[in-house]
Structure 1
Amino acid sequence: MVSVVWPEAEDRTAQGVAVAGGAVHVAIHSLYKRYPGQQVDALQNVDLRIRRGEIFGIIGRSGAGKSSLIRCLNRLEDPTAGQVVVDGVDIGSLSATDLVHWRRSTGMIFQHFNLLSAKTVRQNIDLPLRVAGVPPAERRRKVDELLKLVGLEERQHAYPAQLSGGQKQRVGIARALVHDPQLLLCDEATSALDPETTRSILMLLRDINRQKKITIVLITHEMDVIHDLCHQVAVLERGEVIEQGPVWQVYGDPQQDTTRILLNPLRDSLPEALATQLTEQPQSPQSRALLCLNYTGQGAQPQLSALTAALGSDITLLQSKLEWVQGRQVGQILLLAAAQAEPLSLPHHATFADRIGVLGYVTAT
């Protein structure tokens, strides 16, 4: 898994509260998109609210409608119905001239970089400023500032062919920031990169979000990106939003099968050797309950001493997947209780599990 080193849990939680209380920056109302000649909507009744200064992730399988949605957010595509309102402005109502002006306040980062091969790093970053008629001295100052921000000062005279994938994406990020946008749209910005480079790009985007207070909307099919970077997440399936909420909540207790598969494809799997031994009822006094202890970020902690006290010392840990997401512990533990152990139940044992389930019984042979 790609992991970004976050501040201490208290800082993360405080940041999440601050963002959650911010004003709505982007509001998507009943958005539909159907392409000419198609019989099925690419987007269906999408409603989302993205608050100022937060990093909002949109995840889904290929063909779920992610790219259609982000292209509607800056009117590269016009929706068939519905509205996209940014800072109180319905962007669908903008004239062609007003749309050009508005887009300068919205940065866009692409998967495949889209750099001009015949221009250097510096020239690629400078070009949007030149096109906008920014004076040379101001352009130089701005490009110098952005080169420092993305860590490419020493590579400013290199051409794209001389850069790594991560360096090319850093140029793309710098170019997206030339007009000091308040909104940054990222379309699969890390999917072409290796895990180590992905981590560095995520850290850069996190720092940009914190330093410049830019709202970031990030489209991805990579669960690690959502886990490590985003405050809020929406899950798309066949053009519809099927689940949304704080990352810790959706990640810790997904409600839809698609979400479970995307965020944790191994979540509900059992080791094959164990699954073949499982029975619905105990077969003998030596049968041991297979327990699933779920942690959904509500505050329960896997206290081993408490588990031992409740189930006896003869417990067997079979599988554990616990992670910290936005300062909250989420995941699950599978274990075999001792034979004839008293069953765990909520709320009596709510201090060390948010949800407890008996998956079956295994009898020692």
Structure 2
Amino acid sequence: MSSLVLTPPEALVADEPVRHLDDTHLRFTRLSKRYPGQLTDALKEINLSIRRGEIFGIIGRSGAGKSSLIRTINRLERPSGGSVEVDGVDIDRLNEDQLVAFRRRTGMIFQHFNLLSAKTVRQNIELPLRVAGVPPAERRSRVDALLELVGLGDYPDAYPAQLSGGQKQRVGIARALVHNPELLLCDEATSALDPETTRAILALLQRINREFNITIVLITHEMEVIHDICHRVAVLERGEIIEYGPVWQVYGNPQQETTRILLTPAHDSLPEILAGRITATPSAPDSPLLIRLRYRGLGASLELNRVLAAFQGNVTLVESAIEHIQGRAIGYLLLSVTPSPFASAIPQTLADSVEVLGYVTAA
């Protein structure tokens, strides 16, 4: 088996000295983009930094500007204003030869694979190496190693029509890695895949990030993708970043309505069986009190024994949605408590926030 070795990044501009860099890999400064004939900007004053070696997610609805933003990173789209810096170098200032060298160090994975149907798996992967004039023996060694990495060691001579969607995307990932990139751009890379295949592809991207310290910028409209592998996330709406930070923080305490719609389930809605049956005062001595305990990853621990003790065991779990994101409990418990405790007697330390929703009337 050939070994896979990703070489250190080369300087983007050969005649500049090597810098002592902080952990910022990419920086967008007041970045704007307006397409010809359009009256509004597709991107508006984007200010954002992405750290070296992280998986950074960009999420938003269709038309939010996600693809425009990611395509400015390798200058497939040229900004109308502002700048994109990679390792401190403004890529808009690269000459043609420097831009070609930079793009070879920046892999890109596409939603619809972009494979050549008349070429085999091996030929599709090695095509960028052929274009770059890499010798045949080196091409073969490199492709063999990549085939093993992405789990296609048994398929070098297969054609795209003989592959599943997940296998085609693995070919796309291998092709994106042929030039030892330090940066990998994923444009809706899992949108055309079923959930099981999506999980497998995300696991592969995590492995690549972990083993080779490649910075991955991933755009998607799928919240599961952000949840599963990203370290930080930015929410894009109408060309503007409306919220960003660690994934656990944005999930646990979204500040914008768009973020709540995209990233969290309908935590503010009540089960249909309870809708319309909540009142501010009890209708009977035994009317249960409905309480929601929210966990936002801010420090409160989910301890069911404490919850039961607080209500002396007279509690029914109506609904729950708890998950762990980056090691923090995120979600809620919806509880019905009888007999109803005084609201002031409910320990506020049971969760990051405790909401008294009202009394449940008889059906």
Q: 2:222 aligned with 1:214, yes or no? A: no
Question: Is the 1:286–1:363 contact (alpha carbons within 8 Å) kept by the matching residues of 2?
Answer: no
Question: Is the 1:110–1:189 contact (alpha carbons within 8 Å) kept by the matching residues of 2?
Answer: yes
Q: Which residue of 1 aligns with 2:287?
A: 287
CA–CA separation in structure 1 for the residues paired with 2:111 and 2:209 = 19
> Could you tell me how far 1:307 is from its partner in structure 2?
1.5
> Could you tell me how far 1:254 is from its partner in structure 2?
1.1
SS of 1:26's equivalent in the other structure is strand
Q: Which residue of 2 aligns with 1:363?
A: 361
Matches within 5 A, 1:151-230: 151-230=151-230
> Could you tell me how far 1:296 is from its partner in structure 2?
0.8
Taking structure 2 as the reference length, the TM-score comes to 0.91
CA-to-aligned-CA distance 1:51-105 (integer Å, 9 cap, x gap): 0000000001111111111111111111111110001110111122221111011
CA–CA separation in structure 1 for the residues paired with 2:319 and 2:300 = 18
SS of 1:269's equivalent in the other structure is coil
Q: Tell me: CA distance 1:339–1:363, structure 2 relative to 1, closer, same or farther (3 Å).
A: farther
Out of 144-153 and 299-308, give the one that drifted further: 299-308
> Could you tell me how far 1:345 is from its partner in structure 2?
6.7
CA–CA separation in structure 1 for the residues paired with 2:99 and 2:284 = 73
CA-to-aligned-CA distance 1:171-199 (integer Å, 9 cap, x gap): 00000000000000000000000011101
Q: Which residue of 1 aligns with 2:41?
A: 41
CA-to-aligned-CA distance 1:283-308 (integer Å, 9 cap, x gap): 44333321111101123223222222
Question: Is the 1:308–1:315 contact (alpha carbons within 8 Å) kept by the matching residues of 2?
Answer: yes
Q: Which residue of 1 aligns with 2:6?
A: none
Question: Is the 1:28–1:46 contact (alpha carbons within 8 Å) kept by the matching residues of 2?
Answer: yes
> Could you tell me how far 1:275 is from its partner in structure 2?
1.6
> Could you tell me how far 1:344 is from its partner in structure 2?
5.9
CA–CA separation in structure 2 for the residues paired with 1:281 and 1:104 = 67
Question: Is the 2:277–2:362 contact (alpha carbons within 8 Å) kept by the matching residues of 1?
Answer: no
Q: 2:204 aligned with 1:231, yes or no? A: no
CA–CA separation in structure 2 for the residues paired with 1:280 and 1:113 = 56
SS of 1:154's equivalent in the other structure is coil
Q: Which residue of 1 aligns with 2:132?
A: 132
Q: Superposition RMSD on alpha carbons, in Å? A: 1.6
CA–CA separation in structure 1 for the residues paired with 2:210 and 2:58 = 20
Runs (4 or more) in structure 1 with deviation over 4 Å come to none
CA–CA separation in structure 2 for the residues paired with 1:45 and 1:332 = 35
Out of 252-261 and 111-120, give the one that drifted further: 252-261
Question: Is the 2:282–2:361 contact (alpha carbons within 8 Å) kept by the matching residues of 1?
Answer: yes
Question: Is the 1:32–1:44 contact (alpha carbons within 8 Å) kept by the matching residues of 2?
Answer: yes
Taking structure 1 as the reference length, the TM-score comes to 0.91
Where do 5+ consecutive residues of structure 1 fail to align?
A: 1-21
Where do 5+ consecutive residues of structure 2 fail to align?
A: 1-21
Q: Matched residues, percent identical? A: 65
CA–CA separation in structure 1 for the residues paired with 2:174 and 2:73 = 20
CA–CA separation in structure 1 for the residues paired with 2:266 and 2:206 = 28
Q: Which amino acid aligns with 2:84?
A: V
Question: Is the 1:208–1:214 contact (alpha carbons within 8 Å) kept by the matching residues of 2?
Answer: yes
Q: Which residue of 1 aligns with 2:27?
A: 27
CA–CA separation in structure 2 for the residues paired with 1:314 and 1:185 = 52
Q: Which residue of 2 aligns with 1:262?
A: 262
Number of paired residues?
343
Q: Which residue of 1 aligns with 2:83?
A: 83
Q: Which residue of 1 aligns with 2:113?
A: 113
Q: Which amino acid aligns with 1:171?
A: V
